Amino acid sequence: MIENLKNIVEALIFASDEPIDMNAIIEVIKSVTREEHNDSITDEIAASIAELNEFYEKNEMAFRIIRIAKGFQFATVTEFSKFVGFMNTERRKKRLSQAALETLAIVAYKQPITKPEIERIRGVGAEYILSTLLEKNLICIKGRAETVGRPLLYATTYEFLKYFGIGDISDLPKPREIEEIMNDDEFQEQRRKILMNVLEEELENEAHDEDFGGNGTGNKDEEENGNTSQTE
- pLDDT by residue for the chain (232 residues), tens only, comes to 677 899 999 999 999 988 999 999 999 998 898 877 677 889 999 999 999 999 999 999 999 999 988 899 999 998 888 888 777 766 554 567 888 888 999 999 999 999 999 999 988 889 999 998 998 899 999 999 998 889 999 999 998 988 888 888 888 877 676 666 556 676 566 666 666 766 666 666 666 555 555 444 444 444 454 444 455 6
- Domains of the chain in start order, with CATH, are 5-84 (1.10.10.10), 98-225 (1.10.10.10)
* Cβ proximity of 26 and 45 under 8 Å: yes
DSSP string, 162-220: HHHT-SSGGGSPPHHHHHHHHT-HHHHHHHHHHHHHHHHHHHHHHHHHHHTT--S--HH
Cis peptide bond N-terminal to 112, omega within 30: yes
Q: Parallel, antiparallel, or unpaired for β 71-76 and 113-114?
A: unpaired
End-to-end C-alpha distance for the chain, whole angstroms: 54
Find, among 16, 7, 14, the residue nearest to 65 by Cα.
14
Instruction: Tell me the C-alpha to C-alpha distance, in Å, between residue 62 and each of 82, 174, 197.
Output: 12, 28, 27
Does the pTM exceed 0.75?
no
Q: Tell me how far apart the alpha carbons of residues 138 and 136 are, in angstroms, rounded to a whole number.
A: 5
